[in-house]
Amino acid sequence: MKAIILTIGNEVLSGQVVDTNAAWIAQQLLEIGLAVREKWSVADDISEIISALANATDKGEIIITTGGLGPTADDLTTEALAEFMKVSRSFHEDTFDRLSKMFASIGRVPGPQHKIQCMLPEGVTILPNNAGTAPGMYFNFEGRHLISMPGVPMEMKAIFDPFVIELLKSVRTGPRRRSHTFNTIGEGETVLEDLLKVITANVPSNINFAFLPDIYKVRVRVDVDSDSNEDILLWEEIIGQVRSILAPCLAGENEVTLEVAVGNLLKQKNWMAGTAESCTGGYLAHMITSIPGSSDYFKGGMVAYSNSIKSEYLQVSQDILNQHGAVSEETVKAMAIGAIKQLKVDVAVSVSGIAGPGGGTPEKPVGLVWIGLANNKGKVMAQKIKLRRDRLNNIRAASIMALILMHRFLLDE
């Protein structure tokens, strides 16, 4: 059973909005064992939407659209759905009531554009939207399951989980997909593929490997498409083999990403961590605090963007700054030691570098980053990396490498 995801909206086509909905929906489908066959983005244009719906119902059994359900004039999905299914639209009282209550709670009343939003195609099953005005809709059309949701991610998610999930579970046929993900760090995609060749060369065709590279990280996913106990046992055995091969470069498995793994190591040791950032400008602290419950092991951090904060707060001496510069082994070591003292933490990680596009010199080019680590027992180390990305990706890459080095530092203790 294959799904097609259709993203509707000029803003997605123009690139002014990155389509995160499609990726999120695909992940949710995978969790209940449904695979996405194709994803398309089309314009807010009735004939384009109808042609895409025709194509989609041809290729997949489940069609999920997002976008084009808002109250403004460029929102045309409802109209296109009705034309495509050759049904009329009528005013949906319940939807208007819900909308009126929603507006009343903020002291307003719906406008005429919201009445148009309640003109829904015949045969609709409403998928309640508790987060906004646009209705979620389900149609069983000629044996195809057609689901339409708004494009605002928060509203889409509020409809998807639980309503769409439950709906899809009830219509799902065919073997379920089970997936297991290994979150590796520090090795490239081809190296990992070579390491695992001894396994991948001999697996049956319903077990598949995927290598998903990110900066300094590769996720290795092992899928099985089967409901037979024998196949699932073989899949579990293969997961065990993969685990032992990947052990030296493994941060964690499934939801245990690098950030979570670092947090788990800190909790095991009952240690509090801190950060001292220059070029990453707060992104490293953000990565750490993106994990719920991180206050159990993260005390705080300093964004020491100017040298005066490095010297005044982190106690990096003027001698070090003058002699070696802000981007140097000596400075990041002093920053990490300063963070240990000032934040009163057990372990600290520091970053200083040139994120670009400006600020480079022949000796210290854009992309040069030093990362420092220290604990409260006097252990200090530093490592240099050289990046060649744009500013935002250099910031991200430096933050990820800082976490990888922290992971190693904690394991070595």
Helix (H, G, I), strand (E, B) or coil at 36: strand
Q: How far apart are CA 122 and CA 254, in angstroms?
A: 42
Minimum separation from the CB atom of position 323 to a copy of itself (A): 21
Does 263 contact a copy of itself by CB under 8 A?
no
Residue of 101, 104, 107, 141 lying closest to 124 (CA atoms): 141
Of the pair 28, 315, the CB lying nearest a copy of itself is at 28
Among 89, 144, 157, 180, binds a copy of itself (CB under 8 A): 157
Q: How far apart are CA 410 and CA 261, in angstroms?
A: 10
Minimum separation from the CB atom of position 276 to a copy of itself (A): 10
Minimum separation from the CB atom of position 88 to a copy of itself (A): 26
Using CA atoms, how far residue 139 sits from 2, 218, 305, in Å, is: 17, 39, 54
Does 360 contact a copy of itself by CB under 8 A?
no
Does 318 contact a copy of itself by CB under 8 A?
no
Of the pair 140, 290, the CB lying nearest a copy of itself is at 290
Of the pair 124, 332, the CB lying nearest a copy of itself is at 332
Does 358 contact a copy of itself by CB under 8 A?
yes
Pairing of strands 380-386, 273-277: unpaired
Minimum separation from the CB atom of position 248 to a copy of itself (A): 20
Of the pair 16, 229, the CB lying nearest a copy of itself is at 16
* Cβ-based burial of 349 (10 A; exposed 0-12, middle 13-18, buried ≥19): buried
Q: Which of residues 165-194 bind a copy of itself (CB under 8 A)?
A: 181, 189-190, 193
Does 368 contact a copy of itself by CB under 8 A?
no
Of the pair 37, 364, the CB lying nearest a copy of itself is at 37
Q: What's at 248, amino acid-wise?
A: P
Minimum separation from the CB atom of position 256 to a copy of itself (A): 15
Element (H, E) at 185: strand 177-185
Of the pair 181, 331, the CB lying nearest a copy of itself is at 181
Residues that contact a copy of itself, how many (by CB under 8 A): 98
Task: State how far Cα 158 lies from the chain centre.
Answer: 17
Q: Is 268 left (phi over 0), alpha (psi -120 to 50) or beta?
A: alpha
Minimum separation from the CB atom of position 292 to a copy of itself (A): 6
Pairing of strands 380-386, 368-375: antiparallel
Q: How far apart are CA 234 and CA 31, in angstroms?
A: 20
Among 100, 206, 264, 342, binds a copy of itself (CB under 8 A): 342
Residues 63-102 as x/- pattern, contact with a copy of itself by CB under 8 A: -------xxxxx----------------------------
Does 361 contact a copy of itself by CB under 8 A?
no
Torsion sign across C-alpha atoms 178, 184, 190, 196 = negative
Of the pair 157, 172, the CB lying nearest a copy of itself is at 157
Of the pair 87, 219, the CB lying nearest a copy of itself is at 219
Residues 286-315 as x/- pattern, contact with a copy of itself by CB under 8 A: x-xxx-xxxx--xxxxxxxxx-xx--xx--
Residues 370-399 as x/- pattern, contact with a copy of itself by CB under 8 A: ------------------xxxxxx-x----
* Cβ-based burial of 381 (10 A; exposed 0-12, middle 13-18, buried ≥19): middle
Strand partners, 276: 302, 350
Q: How far apart are CA 54 and CA 70, in angstroms?
A: 22
